[in-house]
Amino acid sequence: MGDFKKRLKRVMRYIIEGIPVVRPQVNVLSQNELLKGRNAFITGGTSGIGFEIAKAFINAGANVVITGRSMERVTVACDRLHKETGLQNKAFAIAMDNTKVSEFSEHLKKAIELLRGGKIDILVNNAGILGGHITNATEEEYDSILDTNLKGVFFFTKLVAEYMKENSIKGNILNIASSSGICPANSAYCVSKWGIRGLTEGYARSLAPLGIVVNGIAPGPTATPMLLNDTNDLSHGKIPLGRYALPEEIANMAVIMVSNIARTVVGDIVYMTGGAGNITKENIRYYF
């Protein structure tokens, strides 16, 4: 009965609003050598965008270390990565809380050990949480969101950049920003993503002379467990493209952005929003 109601809802939306209900055909990068021999550290890699980036990196030849707050979840995600890519010993798990800055050095050291001494030359700052609307945010919630989404990125990027500098690594740092970072901020989440945009430019300007390239990708509403349960219905009437993005689409671009193909793209943010944020802000409701 539940499936019938979902199908009926999609049909009625199409009739009334003209919004497409067919899941789009998305091309996923096949196995390649764009990142052959490279090692990536990806925060928040157990599901959604982070997981798909990890999978795309493995398929492009990289080894990946992924993090999550639960060791059990990260281990399960690594097993899935090996199963879905058909490649073994390419994904490694670390339980890491983005708010606990004092533990970052140990996590980086552990990652290098897991990679058997391989040098980390890609960092993807993906871990993040939603929430904190201006009408009901508590101080505790605000601090949790800003500490996870911005403070953690500030200090972990600093640590990895120092490591790259000390080891003469000409690497890449990719921040997962958001279309919310260019919209009027009505939540702690939006504030954190405004910060990520500025931080991306600041680190890019500081690290480019060292051969460390810093960029960002800003997804719009994306079909991840955080936002969408029914991934068969990707329609979104407030986005010019008419639908949610897929995590695989973000992952495709992530491979390109940290590869030598995009070496001269520095301090930029690629907006993969379907038009949300950059040409319209109608997908966000403003009230108080």
Nearest to 242 by CA among 234, 232, 250, 254: 234
Active site residue 142: no
Residue of 142, 189, 203, 271 marked active site: 189
> Residue 194 contacts by C-beta under 8 Å, 6 or more apart in sequence?
180, 181, 185
CB-CB contact of 276 with 240 (8 Å): yes
* Two structure tokens written together for 238: 């407030």
> Residue 162 contacts by C-beta under 8 Å, 6 or more apart in sequence?
none
CB-CB contact of 122 with 39 (8 Å): yes
Q: Which three-class secondary structure state does DSSP give residue 76?
A: helix
**Catalytic machinery residues:** 189
